[in-house]
Amino acid sequence: MAVGIYFATTTGKTEDIADRLHPLLNGSNTPQDLADLQDLSPLNDLDAIICGIPTWNTGADSERSGTAWDSMLEDISKLSLTGKQVAIYGLGDSSTYTENFCDAIEELHQCFKDAGATMVGYVSKDGYTFEDSKSLIGDKFCGLPLDEDSESDMTDDRLMSWAIQLKQEIPALN
Ligand SMILES: Cc1cc2nc3c(=O)[nH]c(=O)nc-3n(C[C@H](O)[C@H](O)[C@H](O)COP(=O)(O)O)c2cc1C
């Protein structure tokens, strides 16, 4: 059973979170920078995938991340990932970009959903302070939002809770 962690980053925060998440998830592979991938074929060999994506393209309808994810989105949608669980965490700033908090989670979530993956790792909006986010589905974010700019003191607890949740939702982590 194999669980991959893939991230893309501009200033390093999404990579740092991948490095902090990895030891909380026994059985997950060493985090990989998406920018180092030639193509998406390694994803086909995994039982589950955890993705980290920051939001930089404020308010955009598409290519919201401003990282290597943007050029992969179309190809991800065309993969055949039925039977695999996919969970997404996002980095954003709920204070400065409060009307677009972690918008990029939703865009990546939709692509993996289109590929047939079972989406897991949804998180209640309770405990977050923000105006709006495209990543809200009802009362839940379709992934884990993290804010290292304005709420870094909450990150450890959020990561710990998410890791416990993922162990329940992803059989390959057990
Ligand atoms: C120009 C700029 C635009 C940003 N746009 C958003 C945004 O729309 N929504 C959001 O939640 N965060 C936004 N952020 C905050 C980043 O997502 C945040 O700093 C994140 O931790 C960066 O992750 P990285 O270091 O992995 O690139 C923006 C930051 C900058 C500098």
Q: How far is CA 39 from CA 43, 57, 79, 107, 162, in A?
A: 9, 24, 11, 19, 28
Ligand 1 pocket mutation, candidates 56, 63, 141, 146, criterion most atoms within 8 A of CB: 56
Question: Measuring from each residue's beta carbon to the nearest atom of ligand 1, which residues come in under 6 Å?
Answer: 9-14, 54-56, 58, 91-93, 97, 100-103, 148-149
Name the residue with the closest Cα to ligand 1, atom 4: 56
pLDDT at 75: 97
100-145 pLDDT, tens digit each: 999 999 999 999 999 999 999 999 999 999 999 999 999 999 999 9
pLDDT at 1 over 90: no
Name the residue with the closest Cα to ligand 1, atom 10: 92
**Separation of 68 CA from ligand 1 center, angstroms?**
14
pLDDT at 45: 94
**Separation of 115 CA from ligand 1 center, angstroms?**
26
The residue ranges of every structural domain in the chain are 3-173
pLDDT at 46: 97
- Fold designation for 3-173: Rossmann fold (3.40.50)
